[in-house]
Amino acid sequence: MYFYHYYDKRTGPFRSLSDLSLEDAKAVLEVIKREKPKSQSARRDPLYVEHRRRCEGILRAAFAEKGGKMQRMAPHYLVVEHSPWLSTWYEEGAFVRIPAEEFDKSTISFTYGDSMPAFSPLVNDGKEYRQRLYTYEEILQVIGKYGLPQDWNDDGRLGPERYIEVQVWSDEVIGRYL
């Protein structure tokens, strides 16, 4: 299994608004909207940073309950296997591909779909993987049951899940790919 991280070549990989102060993150988002208007990030709503931070608090608490090891306040974000949809997000898109075996499994968590809709109070369709964070072993079972979302829902017609999000709570492996 491989984990993919998509990014804009002009910015580089593993650059996160979550690593910035609230004010700086909002300022960077405004620059993206102005300078990269065709990127997916340029379409984010004005409260995106606040929503992202709320979601990260939920992820942290859920991962702590499962005994996860967090060496960062906010995770690095990757996805399980290639996502055709995510590969279109950036004007000058690129990706990093990392074998799952490189990671200490106690420092990674997963959501079936993007964490924002997975934990959104607005998504109430009763699917068992809503409001759930998974360990490595648990996500393998979910994949066995449902497959990869990008294989059955890359266009998003069947719901918000288009990929499996990986949250990496350590810089150890990521640092080798900067």
CA-closest candidate to residue 25, choices 46, 7, 40, 39: 46
* pLDDT averaged over every residue in the chain: 91
Task: Give pairs for 153-162: CB < 8 Å, separation 24+.
Answer: 154/83, 154/84, 154/85, 155/85, 156/85, 159/113, 159/125, 159/127, 160/113, 160/114, 160/117, 160/118, 160/123, 161/112, 161/113, 161/114, 161/117, 161/118, 161/129, 162/83, 162/85, 162/86, 162/113, 162/114
What is the pLDDT averaged over residues 104-108?
A: 98
What is the pLDDT averaged over residues 19-30?
A: 84
Neighbours of 17 (CB within 10 A): 20
**pLDDT over 70 (residue 150):** yes
Tokens matching residue 138: 């648990």
The model's confidence at residue 33, banded by pLDDT at 50, 70 and 90, is confident
Q: Output 49 or 140, whichever has higher pLDDT.
A: 140
**pLDDT over 90 (residue 39):** no
pLDDT of residue 108: 98
The model's confidence at residue 92, banded by pLDDT at 50, 70 and 90, is confident
Among 41-45, 50-54, 135-139, the range with the most confident prediction by mean pLDDT is: 135-139
The model's confidence at residue 177, banded by pLDDT at 50, 70 and 90, is very high
Q: Are 103 and 18 in contact (CB under 8 A)?
A: no
What is the pLDDT averaged over residues 5-32?
A: 86
Neighbours of 108 (CB within 10 A): 25
